[in-house]
Amino acid sequence: MNDRELLGKRIKSLRRSQGHTQERLAEIIDVNTNYLAVIERGEANPTLALLERLSAGLEVPLSELFQYRREEGCSPAELRQKLGRLVNEASDEELPRLTRIVEALRE
């Protein structure tokens, strides 16, 4: 299972635990219901802005969306490389949010 699928499952789990339907959460965060379904299936890469809206709509810290088990077999070196690529590919506008996400996960 890849990261998108793990994130999607986590979002779906949080949504259900709060008793929200996809329609209701989509309305709260102002996205199309079909797009939320695509995210929950792990078929889309939500933007940082959308992840922030999801965390607000679910009333959980942003870091809570990423509290899922990583795939087995990823070494720390591979994870550092992946994180480095994400940082290098981030736009100037995304860097402050990306920094806040990483800092929140370290707390």
Residue 67, phi then psi, degrees to nearest 5? -85, 65
- Between 1 and 42, name the one with better pLDDT: 42
* DSSP letter (8 states) at residue 90: S
Q: Can you tell me the distance from the alpha carbon of 32 to that of 38, in angstroms, rounded to the nearest whole number?
A: 10
CA neighbours within 13 Å on the CB side: how many for 70? 7
> Tens digits of per-residue pLDDT, 57-104?
999 999 999 887 654 456 778 788 888 988 999 899 999 998 988 888
> Tens digits of per-residue pLDDT, 13-60?
999 999 999 999 999 999 999 999 999 999 999 999 999 999 999 999
Residue with tokens 């992946």: 82
The answer to whether the CB of 10 falls within 8 A of the CB of 67 is: yes
The pLDDT value recorded for residue 73 is 54
**Tokens (6 digits) for 51:** 């992840």
Domain covering 3-66, topology: 434 Repressor (Amino-terminal Domain) (1.10.260)
